[in-house]
Amino acid sequence: MIAELIILVLLSIGVVFNTLGVIGLLRFPDLYTRMHATTKATTFGSVFTTLAVIAYAVSLYMSTLDPQFITLGVHAMIAALALAFTNAVGSHAVARAAHRSGILPAQAVVDRLKEAGK
- Encode pLDDT of 16-45 as tens digits: 999 999 999 999 988 999 999 999 998 999
Who has greater pLDDT, 12 or 117?
12
Task: Report whether pLDDT(107) > 80.
Answer: no
Q: Residue 89: which domain range?
A: 2-104
Give the span between the Cα atoms of 118 and 100, in whole angstroms. 8
Number of structural domains (the chain) is: 1
Domain-embedded: residue 40: yes
- Rounded to two decimals, what is the model's pTM? 0.81
Residue 48 lies in a domain: yes
pLDDT band at 97 (very low <50, low <70, confident <90, very high): very high
> What's residue 91's pLDDT?
93
Half-sphere exposure of 24 (CA within 13 A, CB side): 18
Judged on CB neighbours under 10 Å (0-12, 13-18, 19+), 107 is exposed
Residue 84 lies in a domain: yes
Residue 109 domain flag: no
pLDDT for position 108: 67
